[in-house]
Amino acid sequence: MARASDEFLAELLRIERTLWQNNAHVYRDTYTPDAILIFPVVGRIDRETAVAAILKENAAGRAWAEVYFDDVVGRWLAKDTAFLISYRATARWNDEEVASEMLCATLYVRQEEAWRVMFHQQTANAEPR
């Protein structure tokens, strides 16, 4: 897998960070209609299930208070059409005192002149720091 330019990776990370703002409209616009998301405890869900969950979190006043990315790696899977980002996220909900650490992977695909998410997975971080 070939590495991407720093500018391209920075652009996709900007999109990735907007997804951590828990905005249902951003999710609906950024994920493909057939996207698959996998989360610990929740399991595998589709885009509409994720959007509904975000709307519920929004209604309850729940949001990410802080999110940090470390150990970011980006690779082309298919030049100019499919790109994979993996990273370690340290994130804390606004109703929690302690941040959680997770490993994340997001697959971006080029559709209709935009980069959209087709797959995202989060897993508990088992790697020692």
d(CA 64, CA 85): 20
**Model confidence at 27, in pLDDT bands (50, 70, 90)?**
very high
Is pLDDT above 80 for 31? Answer: yes
Q: What pLDDT, on the 0 to 100 scale, is given for residue 5? A: 80
* Two tokens, residue 112: 């209709």
**Model confidence at 102, in pLDDT bands (50, 70, 90)?**
very high
Q: What pLDDT, on the 0 to 100 scale, is given for residue 129? A: 53
**Model-level pTM?**
0.91
98 CB-near residues (< 8 Å, 6+ apart)? 92
Percent of the chain residues past pLDDT 90, beyond the cut: 86
Percent of the chain residues past pLDDT 70, beyond the cut: 93
Instruction: Output the CA angle 118-71-101, nearest 5 degrees.
Output: 80
What does the domain layout of the chain look like in residue ranges?
6-124
Fold of the CATH domain 6-124: Nuclear Transport Factor 2; Chain: A, (3.10.450)
Name the nearest CA neighbour of 81 among 47, 118, 46.
118
57 CB-near residues (< 8 Å, 6+ apart)? 22, 63
Is pLDDT above 60 for 50? Answer: yes
